[in-house]
Amino acid sequence: MTVFRGKILHFVDDPAIAGERAYVYLDDGALLVRQGKIEQAVAWASIKDDLPGDAVTVDRRGRLITPGFIDTHIHYPQSDIIASYGEQLLEWLERYTFPTEQRFGDPAHASEVAGFFLDELLRNGTTSAMVFASVHPSSVDAIFEAARTRGMCLIAGKVLMDRNCPEFLRDTADSGCAQSAELIARWHGRDRLLYAVTPRFAPTSTERQLELAGKLLEENPGVLMQSHLAENLDEVRWVSELFTWSRSYLDVYDHFGLLREGAVYAHCIHLDALDRRRMSETGAAMAFCATSNLFLGSGLFDLDAALEHGVKVSIGTDVGGGTSFSMLRTLAESYKVAQLARQRLSPLRAFYLATLGGARALGLEDRLGNFAPGKPADFIVLDASATPLMARRMQSASGVVEELFVLMMLGDDRAVAETYVGGKQLHER
């Protein structure tokens, strides 16, 4: 058994709903890890005299131990186009995304990028992610293989895209479905890997493809679902032209049975109350992608409306439309988006969204997101004094809530001292 001693924080519920009961904070805590799993998180004083003979104590006093971050929306093939200049969504796809994704037909290239991508996630304290691959099945093999090697719980899927895209990236309704089914058979449930059916977004799939996607989900319980929804006004208009029968953008996905537990929709900016109610009813979740929404000028996510309608919300970096792999930086921009909308994102809720909120969005609360006994020991050790400015700011900060705010407003990869997956240290600053 290994005992990690330090400040410990994790969530059991959403602070916006459960308030003080939403989290457990131990100022001098002990995280007990045995065979890669959480045994418990308790006060150091309560166990220090009863540790078994084989216990090894890792002293991280002064640092904050939290569950690893869960990034619920990110495109690994776009790692190399992060910070590309000058476009909004639809032009961005044409100019940057499609050309770069073309290269992922090459397994060697896919594998090389997948390795960099996962190491960058770990460097930023992200231990699980829901990931878009490219349209190529081999791109899914590459990212799953890289995640398997690292022991990570990773959700990924092959992009389904059978129209309104360059021919070199186009599948068909049938081939896309058949390839997805093969990938599910090969990867879903293997070690900690899970498959997600992945239509890029409504405009690049025919109705037949969306219908088959719905069937895949019906036939494969436990398989997840990911797509984009209502990111940009031109996109919303386009969807209404392509699916003239639909009440709204969301209604397209609804029609084909794509709203459900474990379905995560990125962005969800331009929705109405009926849409939000429907997401809540079906258990579908929203991935709030602040850096991307700002970088592509998409608009402001409405956190309060999601809460009011009881929709599950999680955080996505959305690299490469997003500008950082860091969930801390993404939380900072989430706070700013809320401020612009005259809403408030508290530090506690921010860290909830980045951990347990992510697990709930994915429908994986049984295995991810906090330090409940028996869950795999995916956690990070945070250093709120990682830069001269943070160290100075921490001198006048008091309590864990202020520490969280310093971490999210001033922190980046430097604030992640260590990252553990399944109890194994995979990154040390």
Under the criterion CB under 8 A, does residue 17 sit at the interface with its own copies? no
Query: Which residue, 176 or 347, is less far from its own copies as judged by CB?
Result: 347
Pairwise CA distance, residues 155 & 355, whole Å? 15
Site for its own copies contains 114 (CB under 8 A) = no
336 is a contact residue toward its own copies (CB under 8 A): yes
Q: Which residue has the tokens 């878009």?
A: 132
User: Residue 355 Cβ, how far from its own copies at the closest point, in Å?
Assistant: 19
- The yes or no reply on residue 424 touching its own copies (CB under 8 A) is no
157 belongs to the binding site for its own copies (CB under 8 A):
no
Residue placing its CB nearer to its own copies in the complex, 22 or 178: 22
Q: Is position 62 an interface residue for its own copies (rule: CB under 8 A)?
A: no
Which residue lies nearer to its own copies by CB, 53 or 399?
Answer: 399
Site string for its own copies, 365-394 (x = CB under 8 A): ----------------------xxx--xx-
Interface positions, 193-212, toward its own copies (CB under 8 A): none
Q: Which of residues 279-298 bind its own copies (CB under 8 A)?
A: 294-297
Nearest distance, CB of residue 245 and its own copies, angstroms? 30
| Interface characters, 302-331, with its own copies (x: CB under 8 A) | ---------------------xxx------
Q: Quote the CA–CA distance of 17 and 348 in Å, as a whole number.
A: 12
Count CB neighbours of 243 within 10 A.
Answer: 18
Comparing CB distances to its own copies, the nearer of 145 and 402 is 402
Q: Is 245 in the site for its own copies (CB under 8 A)?
A: no
The partner residues of 64 in beta bridges, in order of sequence, read: 7, 382
Please report, as a single letter, which amino acid is at residue 158: K
**Position 340 contacts its own copies (CB under 8 A):** yes
AA letter at 316? G
Closest CA to 397 of 379, 409, 380: 409
Residue 237 lies near its own copies (rule: CB under 8 A): no
**Which stretch in 79-87, 207-215, 254-262, 354-362 sits in contact with its own copies by CB under 8 A?**
79-87
Residues at the interface with its own copies (CB under 8 A): 79-86, 88, 116, 119-120, 123, 294-297, 299-300, 323-325, 332-333, 335-342, 344, 346-347, 387-389, 392-393, 395-396, 401-402, 405-406, 409-410, 412-413
